[in-house]
Structure formats: structure tokens, C-alpha cells
């Protein structure tokens, strides 16, 4: 049933990144249309009928002529949503794993003005049947993302989300980010001081995974390392810098103690101590300098 929308010049828009999803995209678009004003499907160079089926189901279809990855596809979809003056955007997967009937619950905190980003969490309240090894991987990525971004949620990798106008304007992802875009949202939320809420959602894992989950996880992990180096250089360089410097100082203490006890200078150890101290200081200063440059370039951001 079509939900009444407050003002059509500020529509609710769903953005769906899709790659070779012609088996599911039709029903996902039709079900999603019940809850939003427009559905944008970004067909990311699919070789199947994704674009045709999505258009027939009533979506606005944008096409990449070659595969550019999920992050860039969502960038394309959000750009269009901004042009259309979206009041809010729902992100939902194209493969039918999410239930569009849960969209009203997902957008409620945004419509109440209580959140900028609502994450549909697979690990809150609803008991989902998720293969155990996938839960492990998802929790590992969430732990790393939470620690790295400084923002804590229960499901960092969920693709089912809602964004307020503020969040839509803040969200532009690294084009090469691929599947690390969900993690990147947490870094951007931290940078732009966005309020995050989580809502329990259901998810189905009826199909076999489409690609090697280990490779997928490592790709996300690699994306998180890049994000930390770019968003939080002080943590990325400062922490190892201090640790290396401490190791250098400790070795230095050992050298001095030996000298006091035996009146002989352990030249090798002394050189290693000096080298570690210099590398530590260099790394620490790299972090401080990058942090300052970043602060100058992004005045709104306070780490
Ligand atoms: N734009 C774009 N979207 C993609 C690409 N690969 C997957 N997607 C979409 O991203 C969403 C999530 O991808 P999935 O492959 O389902 O990832 P997943 O849900 O973690 O893994 P599965 O359990 O195998 O489904 C789906 O809507 C896909 O169509 C891609 O290369 N480009
Ligand atoms: Mg999926």
C-alpha cells in the first residue's frame, strides 16, 4: 500500500546498487515502491537484464557502462537523490535479502528528527538465521570498524540503512572503496557529527554466498586501513610511532645499564636503539603533520 508522503518536492528515495541481479531486482523494486516516492537503481555494468527489469518495475535506472564497485554506484545514486531534493534516502540491497516492509521502522527516527543515519542491524532483537562463520566475519569487521572510526554500532556491514538530508550531503565515498562503503559511513558520521540510531531488521541467507567471503572480508579490511590512514592519521601513525619510540628508549636503557655494570658499550644494541628512536619520532611526526594538514583542509572536522 502506498504510504502518504509529506511533500513530493522533498521525496523519499530508495537507492539500490545492483550488479547482475535480474532474478530479484523486479520484486525488490516493486515492494520498495510501496514505501517511497522514487526508487533509483544503479546498474553497475551488469551483463544480465538488471536494468531492463528494474525499469519495467518502475525504477529510475542509472547505468555505469562498466563495473565500478558498490561504493561508486551508491555515489552515483546519492548524487541523483541530491539533485531530486530527497528528504531522506533508503539504501537496500538488490538481492532480496532485506525486507522492504521494514522501511517504515527504518525511517521513523529520521522523520522524528532523532537521527541522521539509521542502520538496520541484523544483531538486535530479531533472531536471524545467519551462517555461523558469516556472523564471525561480520562481528570481526564491526569490531575493527568501531575501534578505527571511534563510533560504536552492532552491525557495521549492514547494507539496509536510511539517511537524513544532512547525511546524504555528508556521504561521498572513496570511488575505489567497493564494499568498504558501509565502514566508511561510520568514519563520515564521526567526521560530520551525525547522530546514528540502530533498528533491528531481518535478513535472509537463502542463497550461497556469491563470492569468496574471505576475499570479501579482506577487501573490507583493506578499505578500513585506508580509511584510518586518511581520516585518523594521528591514530594511524601516532600510535605505532610512540610504540617504536618506546622500544628504542627501552633498548637505550638496556645499553646504559650494561655500560654501568661492565663499562662496555654494546655498540650494536645502541645503534638499533638509535634507529628505532629516529623511526619512531619520524612516524609520530608524520601523524602530527598529516593531522594538522587534515584539520586545515577540513575545518569542520575535529578528531
Ligand atoms: N554497484 C555494485 N553493486 C554491487 C556489486 N556487487 C554487489 N553489489 C550489490 O551490493 C549489494 C550487496 O551485495 P551482495 O553481493 O549481496 O553482498 P552480501 O549481501 O554481503 O553477500 P551475499 O550473502 O553473497 O549476498 C547487492 O545489492 C548487490 O547487487 C558491484 O560490483 N557493484
Ligand atoms: Mg547479498
Q: According to the model, what pLDDT value does residue 8 have?
A: 66
Report d(CA 298, CA 170) in Å as an integer: 12
Identify the residue whose cell numbers are 619520524: 282
CB distance 103 to ligand 1 below 6 Å: no
10 Å Cβ neighbour count for 172? 15
| Residue bearing the CA closest to ligand 1, atom 9 | 18
- Cell numbers found for residue 224: 578500513
* Global confidence as pTM: 0.86
| Residue bearing the CA closest to ligand 1, atom 22 | 209
pLDDT for residue 88 is more than 70 = yes
Identify the residue whose cell numbers are 551462517: 131
Average pLDDT, rounded, for the chain: 92
CB distance 122 to ligand 1 below 6 Å: no
For the stretch 209-220, pLDDT in tens is 787 888 999 999
| 18 C-alpha to ligand 1 centroid (Å) | 7
Q: Is 200 helix (H, G, I), strand (E, B) or coil?
A: strand
C-beta of residue 225 within 8 angstroms of C-beta of residue 187: no
Report d(CA 274, CA 268) in Å as an integer: 10
For the stretch 278-289, pLDDT in tens is 999 999 999 999
Average pLDDT over residues 22-42: 98
SS3 of 221-280: HHHHHHHHHHHCHHHHHHHHHHHHHHHHHHHHHHHHHHHHHHCCCCHHHHHHHHHHHHHH
10 Å Cβ neighbour count for 96? 19
Most ligand 1 atoms within 8 A of CB, residue of 16, 70, 120, 182 to mutate? 70
pLDDT for residue 250 is more than 60 = yes
Average pLDDT over residues 222-226: 93
Atom of ligand 1 nearest to the CA of 210: 24
Q: Among candidates 82, 94, 97, which has minimal Cα distance to 51?
A: 94
Q: According to the model, what pLDDT value does residue 210 have?
A: 80
Amino acid at each position: 500500500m502506498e504510504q502518504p508522503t509529506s511533500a513530493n518536492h522533498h521525496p523519499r528515495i530508495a537507492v539500490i546498487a545492483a550488479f547482475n541481479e535480474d532474478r530479484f531486482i523486479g520484486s525488490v523494486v516493486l515492494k520498495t515502491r510501496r514505501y517511497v516516492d522514487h526508487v533509483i537503481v544503479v546498474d553497475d555494468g551488469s551483463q544480465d537484464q538488471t536494468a531492463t527489469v528494474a525499469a519495467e518495475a518502475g525504477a529510475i535506472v542509472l547505468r555505469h557502462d562498466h563495473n565500478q564497485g558498490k561504493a561508486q554506484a551508491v555515489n552515483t545514486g546519492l548524487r541523483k537523490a541530491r539533485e531530486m531534493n530527497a528528504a531522506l534516502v533508503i539504501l537496500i540491497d538488490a538481492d532480496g535479502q532485506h525486507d522492504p516492509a521494514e522501511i517504515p521502522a527504518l525511517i521513523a527516527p529520521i522523520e522524528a528528527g532523532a537521527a541522521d543515519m539509521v542502520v538496520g542491524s541484523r544483531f538486535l532483537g530479531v533472531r536471524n538465521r545467519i551462517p555461523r562463520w558469516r556472523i564471525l566475519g561480520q562481528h570481526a569487521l564491526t569490531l575493527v570498524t568501531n575501534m578505527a572510526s571511534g563510533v560504536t554500532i552492532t552491525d557495521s556491514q549492514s547494507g539496509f540503512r536510511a539517511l537524513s538530508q544532512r547525511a546524504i550531503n555528508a556521504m561521498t565515498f572513496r570511488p575505489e572503496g567497493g564494499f568498504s562503503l558501509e565502514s566508511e559511513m561510520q568514519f563520515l558520521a564521526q567526521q560530520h557529527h551525525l547522530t546514528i540510531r540502530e533498528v533491528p531488521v531481518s535478513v535472509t541467507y537463502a542463497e550461497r554466498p556469491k563470492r569468496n567471503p574471505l576475499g570479501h572480508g579482506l577487501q573490507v579490511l583493506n578499505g578500513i586501513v585506508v580509511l584510518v590512514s586518511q581520516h585518523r592519521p594521528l591514530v594511524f601513525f601516532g600510535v605505532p610511532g610512540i610504540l617504536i619510540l618506546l622500544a628504542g628508549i627501552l633498548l637505550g636503557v638496556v645499553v646504559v645499564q650494561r655500560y654501568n655494570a661492565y663499562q662496555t658499550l654494546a655498540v650494536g644494541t645502541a645503534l638499533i636503539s638509535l634507529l628505532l628512536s629516529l623511526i619512531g619520532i619520524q612516524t609520530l611526526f608524520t601523524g602530527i603533520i598529516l593531522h594538522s594538514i587534515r584539520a586545515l583542509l577540513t575545518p569542520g572536522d575535529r578528531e
